[in-house]
Amino acid sequence: MEQTHSQLRKPDAQPNEWAVRLHHATRATREDWLGKAISYLCIGVIILVVASMLWFITSKGIATFTQNHVSLGKFLTGTNWAPDQGQIGALPMIVGSFAV
């Protein structure tokens, strides 16, 4: 039951009516709240997905250096990429990425 501004200012309105009118959210307010809640939920899911991806990539990348005992210097300056032989040189890929 929507009321106009002039109806809300009636002098005969009881204080109890004012409290009821103030505490009942309008449809627009509820829709606004629902939209914000859905947006915040989506933001939370996106943050969780991105954090999971970063954790996965980082954990697998660090394993190359900790488990396979490859030095960072050899990784960045090596020219041969043969992981099965323990030779992990990324210089050609790095230079190729910048060339493109």
pTM of the model: 0.56
Residue 7 and residue 56: Cα distance in Å, rounded? 61
Helices (H), 1-100: 5-8, 15-23, 27-66, 72-77, 91-99
What residue type is 13 in one-letter code? Answer: A
**Is residue 44's pLDDT more than 60?**
yes
pLDDT band at 12 (very low <50, low <70, confident <90, very high): low
The more confidently predicted of residues 51 and 74 is 51
Provide CB contacts within 8 A for 92, sequence distance 6+: 79, 81
Arithmetic mean of pLDDT, 48-54: 98
